[in-house]
Amino acid sequence: MDMFLYMDKDSLLHRLDPRTKIFIMLISFAIALMFSSLSILLVLSAVIILYGYTGKVLANLKRIQVILIMIALMSVILWAFTYPGTTRIWGPITKEGIIYGIAIGIKFDIMIISGMIFLSSTKIEEISLGLMKLGIPYRPAFAFSTAVRLVPMIVATSYTITQAQKSRGLDLDTGNLIQRIKKYIPLLIPVLISIIRQANILAMALESKGFGYSDKRTNYLEIKFTASDYVFITIAFLILLFAIYFKIKYKM
């Protein structure tokens, strides 16, 4: 079971400088947080999907489709009951609340999809080097890239331990929700022990290679801006300026 998000493709998106992709991701976050209009968020969603399509990484969205659906569904349910609308549908549920809930759900999904596209098209080494080129010290950049690398490993370890316990006769699929949660509790101990062991091995490996000995580091991987990077950055910056102007003028 492949737990890593990066998809090795030969695409324009993969060839972009990691700093460009970080910049585009942050702009998508900013615009998504800036607006609550359903129409604008739908347009932004289409742009993000088109951006991911250029990198041939949209297949990774299938891995988080349940999360995306649940976030949107919970947002609609929450705001349908709490948003102070005027068009009553049933009880406290209003038409305005449902529309606003859909918009908020799309807002969060946009940010998740944008982050998934970034991780699916950027190697861990490129993320670390890109952060360093942006002025972030090596240690925080390495810590962030290591966290991104370890999350799939932890998920894979949990999956392996779960499958091993199932092969020994542990029944995790029967009973109600509470009973299933209780069955997973004993699995936390081997998972935590495995994570601590992996962290200890990583620490020893870093010490053996002199991690932190010098603040001046060289890198085997080299990155630089190309014409495509300048085009994407310019387009993203213009979209951000237009969004700010639209927000100020129409107060949406």
Residue 249 has pLDDT above 70, yes or no: yes
Q: Report if residue 126 sits inside a domain.
A: yes
Q: Which residues, 6 or more positions from 35, have their beta carbon under 8 angstroms from its beta carbon?
A: 41, 44, 107, 243, 247, 252
Mean pLDDT, the chain, rounded, equals 83
> What are the phi and psi torsion angles at 123 (to 5°)?
-70, 155
28 found inside a domain = yes
At residue 233 the predicted structure's pLDDT band, cuts being 50, 70 and 90, is very high
Q: Is the pLDDT of residue 190 over 70?
A: yes
pLDDT of residue 252: 63
Please calculate the CA angle 67-190-178 and round it to the nearest 5 degrees: 50
Please check whether residues 161 and 93 belong to one and the same domain.
Answer: no
Range of the domain at 91: 12-131+227-250
pTM of structure: 0.79
162 versus 245: the higher-pLDDT residue is 245
Same domain flag for 42 and 167: no
Indicate if 201 and 150 belong to the same structural domain.
yes
More confident residue, 136 or 17: 17
Residues 120 and 152 in one domain: no
* Residues 16 and 123 occupy one common structural domain: yes
Domain tally, the chain:
2
